[in-house]
Structure 1
Amino acid sequence: MTSHLGQRSATIPIHFFKIILETNVERIKLPNKFTNRYGGSLPNPVSLRSSDFKEWVVYWTEKNGEVWFEKGWKEFVENYSLSYGYFVVFKYKGTSQIDVLILDKSALELDYLSSANGSVNPVNATEKEKNARPMPPSMVSSHQVFEETLMGNMERDSIVQRVHADKGVPSDKGTHVQQLIRPQCVNPTQSGNCLNLPRTLRARKISKRFKSRHAYFTLVIELSNLEENASKYVPKFLDNISSEKNVVLQMANRSSYAWYVKLLSGGERYDRFTSGWSIFAKESKLEAGDICIFELVEPAGPLLRVHVFRG
């Protein structure tokens, strides 16, 4: 940033906010008082990190002593469907990463999962994600899943990881199930309820028509969810996940197959499918625009049955 902007030190972290107007959806001016105090140390570009843990690279420019977020800002706005009256709080900590909190027109924090449209603006992943490797497709029988459930979650997770490592299940093929046993739902916390509000009208209609005695959530598949080593944010559907857990995904129309996918805790409202998700998406032939309903048929497993509605 040019030298005439503020160079003196000030208290870190510092917060400032901006209200979304029709005039600032493509670029937005930072408060003069902020740039006067912190302009000398503001990197270019910066990364905006929202509460769903996505990061967005945004470049600023200086014009007539005013600093504007320009390149990358429009993509950030479009991803969360920000419009007139939304309220964005920025937390600057003296680094290139600026945390953002988004409030919608109801004055509540944005439902990031329902609002995100899947735009891609990649930033370096966390070290944990960098070191992660996709789990094998791990197609296993529902009978095996049910037996492992009875062992208890901690022992089950350990056994699953050890078996997969020892047997070296190939990455492109799974083991066909010899016998199918349908496990029964064990006291779901929100039986028969949809756990999220889908972001598109079509997805909402499909979710509303879907009938189940189990808890379920509805997701829209985006192109970015189909890339190699992709992940997928999901509403929190388990109460007892502290950091990570293996879950089983079973296609409703291919119930003789199942996939292990790692679920990482993402906060109070969201978790994320990581290792194994891209393999599941590929082998299940998911496409951008598909609507998927994940039905929690076995919380203790946990086992999710996936219903796909083609786009």
Structure 2
Amino acid sequence: MKGGAKKYPHFFRIFFPEQHSHTMKVPKEFLKNLNEELLSNAVLSIPSSDEKWEVSVVKKGSEVYMQNGWPQFVTDNSLVLHELLLFEYHGDNCFHVQIFGTNGLERLCVKETTQEQPTTIPKKTIPTSAGSSLHKSKSCKKDLSQPKESPIEIESSEALKLAESFTSCKPHWKHVMTKCHVEGRCILPIASKFARKYIPEEVKQIHMGNSEGTLWKVQVSYFKIQSRSYANLSTGWAKFVRDNKLMRGDTCIFELEENKDLHMKVHIFRTRCAPS
């Protein structure tokens, strides 16, 4: 080849969560064209990040799959239905993966620039919910008029343990922040059981508040797999992340408040272990 950029072997896949959340099949035709054999592990990287993911490469019958480590890649990059993944092989078991959104554009780590200002609202006394919740409370005798709490700064594992011990009579769900939840595209999947039970599909926006009573407007986006609906926190989530200085390793508990408008209180359990 004279001049020009080097061409690498590559293949693409359209992402379907029901097929690709746990494993990713490598096409036979792609393997035939390689001048080397894939070993037991491969390393994945994306252009917009310095982070790398190690995945196991296993053979099942006549097929080859990326398996252990692949679900973490899916989670960290918040892959959703119909996104296109382009796998480019650079040798030595290293793949560069480009992610293209459903709009056909490559997904890059671009910071959200919305200048939406949060609104402080007066505190209200919220009645205790008698309904069932995703996480059931061990005790419903918690004093709802207690003073404002500050975010807790502790080691990552301890933060998760403390979050696990959280109890409330109100519906709530927990999420540990990874890179793609607090950097770049900044979307956050809502726990599917929680979303189906408490967030009607006609809801397009949620008010999210911190322990100081400040509110942010966050949009909800939906997609379906077969007949099941899933939801993400999208536009506005990045501003909530920045304003509350969320980092990888932080654990957030999203608690549904009983207001006329859909309102969630976010309890933040911070880690000192997150990278700067």
| TM-score interval (norm. to shorter) | 0.5 to 0.7
Q: Cα distance 1:193–1:206, how it changes in 2: closer, same or farther (>3 A)?
A: same
Q: TM-score, normalised by structure 1?
A: 0.48
CA contact (8 A) 2:170 2:255 kept: yes
Q: Could you tell me how far apart the structure 1 residues matched to 2:40 and 2:73 are?
A: 25
SS in 2 for 1:45: strand
Gaps of at least 5 residues in structure 1 are: 1-42, 91-99, 105-109, 137-170, 195-199
Match of 1:282 in 2: 242
2:168 is aligned, of 212, 220, 223, to: 212
Aligned to 1:295: 255
- Matched with 2:13 is 47
Aligned to 1:125: 101
| Paired position in structure 1 for 2:5 | none
Match of 1:174 in 2: 118
Instruction: Letter of the 1:193 partner, please give it.
Output: K
Measure, in 2, the Cα distance between the counterparts of 1:233 and 1:188.
23
Paired residue total: 202
Structure 1 residue 245 and structure 2 residue 204: aligned?
A: yes
- Assess if the C-alpha contact under 8 Å between 2:218 and 2:237 holds in 1: yes
Q: Distance in 2 between matches of 1:249 and 1:265?
A: 18
Q: 1:243 to 1:114 in 2, by over 3 A?
A: farther
Contact 1:247–1:302 (8 Å) recurs in 2:
yes
Residue deviations 1:54-91, cap 9 Å, x none? 8x9x8955246x98699976469x86x9769998xx9x
1:9 alignment partner in structure 2: none
Query: What amino acid sits opposite 1:264 in the alignment?
Result: S
| Aligned-partner residue type, residue 10 of structure 2 | N
Give the conservation status (yes or no) of the 8 Å contact 1:241–1:265: no
Q: Is contact 2:205–2:218 with CA below 8 Å preserved after alignment?
A: yes
Q: Which has the higher strand share?
A: 2
TM-fit CA distance, 1:188: 4.3
Gaps of 5+ in 2: 1-8, 47-51, 80-96, 107-111, 138-155, 272-276
Higher helix residue share: 1
Asked whether the equivalents of residues 250 and 305 of structure 1 are also in contact (C-alpha less than 8 Å), the reply is yes
Aligned to 1:38: none
SS at match of 2:120: coil
Partner of 2:153: none
> 2-side partners of 1:114 and 1:210: how far apart?
28
Deviations 1:146-205 (A, max 9, x none): xxxxxxxxxxxxxxxxxxxxxxxxx1533433x2224435554426439xxxxx965652
- Identity over the aligned pairs, expressed in percent? 18
Q: Aligned-residue CA RMSD in angstroms?
A: 4.9
The answer to which structure, 1 or 2, has the higher relative contact order (CA under 8 A, 6+ apart) is 2
Separation in structure 2 between the aligned mates of residue 69 and residue 247 of structure 1, nearest angstrom? 46
Other structure's SS at 2:241 match? helix
Matches within 5 A, 1:82-161: 116-117=75-76, 123-127=99-103
State the shift of 1:219 in Å.
Answer: 1.1
Per the normalisation by structure 2, the TM-score is 0.53
| Residues 1:284 and 1:183: Cα distance change in structure 2 (over 3 Å) | same
Please name the residue that 1:258 is paired with. Answer: 215
- Matches of 1:234 and 1:262, distance apart in 2: 12
